[in-house]
Structure 1
Amino acid sequence: MFSKADSQKIKREFWIEFAEVYPRKWLLYDTKIRDFSFKFYVDNKKAQVTLDIEPKDDEKRKIYFEKIESLKQILHDDFMNDAVFERHFHLETGKIISKIWVEKTEISVFNKNTWPEIFDFFNEKMDTFERFFYEYKDYIEDLEMNT
């Protein structure tokens, strides 16, 4: 078990090393769509690359999610066959968002031996997610276009 300070130090080292191994600018929050962002997540059991759809307006969240969902077969066939879709994902804060993600288990941010595996997973999956997004961005961001 790590102290809170030790845990924070290890996580900081993890992200610094990831940036050194894969020194590129990721899309993340720069989608140009409000409350629509890509994220990296890692803890002591799993790593995830996620697309979080979290507008305060539930109708907008629903529309964005349905747009991505309408592309689900393409995403699975041409980009990421392991993507998971959840329309109503409950955050620990109680907030409900929509989320699409891929996950790698049996790794840990606290086990430096698994870091290369996590880094490769992050790089491959985020790059793939970004290519999918750029391919269908015009459709996704146009709320007037039907799903």
Structure 2
Amino acid sequence: MYSKEEALLIKKEFWTAFAEAYPRKWLLYDTKIKDVTFKFFIDNKKAQVLLDIEPKDEEKRKIYFEKIESLKTILLEDYLPEAILERNYYLESGKVISRIWIEKLEVSLNNRSYWPTIFDFFSKTMAQFELFYFEYEEYIKDLDINT
């Protein structure tokens, strides 16, 4: 078991190594849609690439999710066959968001031997997610176009 300081150091080393291995600017928070963000997640059981939809306005959250859901077949067939879509995803805090994600199980942040596998998963998966988003961005962003 690691101390809090050791765990923070490992996490910092992980993200530094990832940035050095894949030195590019990821879309992440720059979707041009408030409270719609791409994220990387890693712990000691899994790695995930996420698209979180969490506007405070429940109706906006519903519409953004339904727009992506209407593209589900394209997302799964052409970009990310393992994607999981969940309209009502409950965070540990109890907050409800919509989430689309892809995960890789049985990897660990604390085991450096997994890092190349995780880096590759993050890079390939996020690149595909971004390609999908850029292709359908105008449709997703336009709240006036109904699904």
Normalising by structure 1, we get a TM-score of 0.99
1:90-127, Cα deviation, whole Å (9 max, x unpaired): 01111100000000011000000000000000000000
| Length, aligned pairs only | 147
1:12-51, Cα deviation, whole Å (9 max, x unpaired): 0000000000000000000000000000000000000000
SS at match of 2:119: helix
Alpha-carbon distance between aligned partners in 2 of 1:29 and 1:57, rounded to the nearest angstrom: 18
SS at match of 2:48: strand
Q: Which runs of 5+ in 2 are unaligned?
A: none
In structure 1, give the amino acid aligned to 2:17. Answer: E
Residue of structure 2 equivalent to 1:107 = 107
SS at match of 2:93: coil
Residue of structure 2 equivalent to 1:135 = 135
Displacement of 1:4: 0.7
1:45-66, Cα deviation, whole Å (9 max, x unpaired): 0000000000001100000000
Identical columns (%) = 63
Alpha-carbon distance between aligned partners in 1 of 2:76 and 2:26, rounded to the nearest angstrom: 22
Runs of 4+ residues deviating >6 angstroms: none
Residue of structure 2 equivalent to 1:9 = 9
Alpha carbon RMSD of aligned pairs, Å?
A: 0.3
| Equivalent residue runs for 1:36-51 within 5 Å | 36-51=36-51
SS at match of 2:127: helix
Alpha-carbon distance between aligned partners in 2 of 1:72 and 1:5, rounded to the nearest angstrom: 41
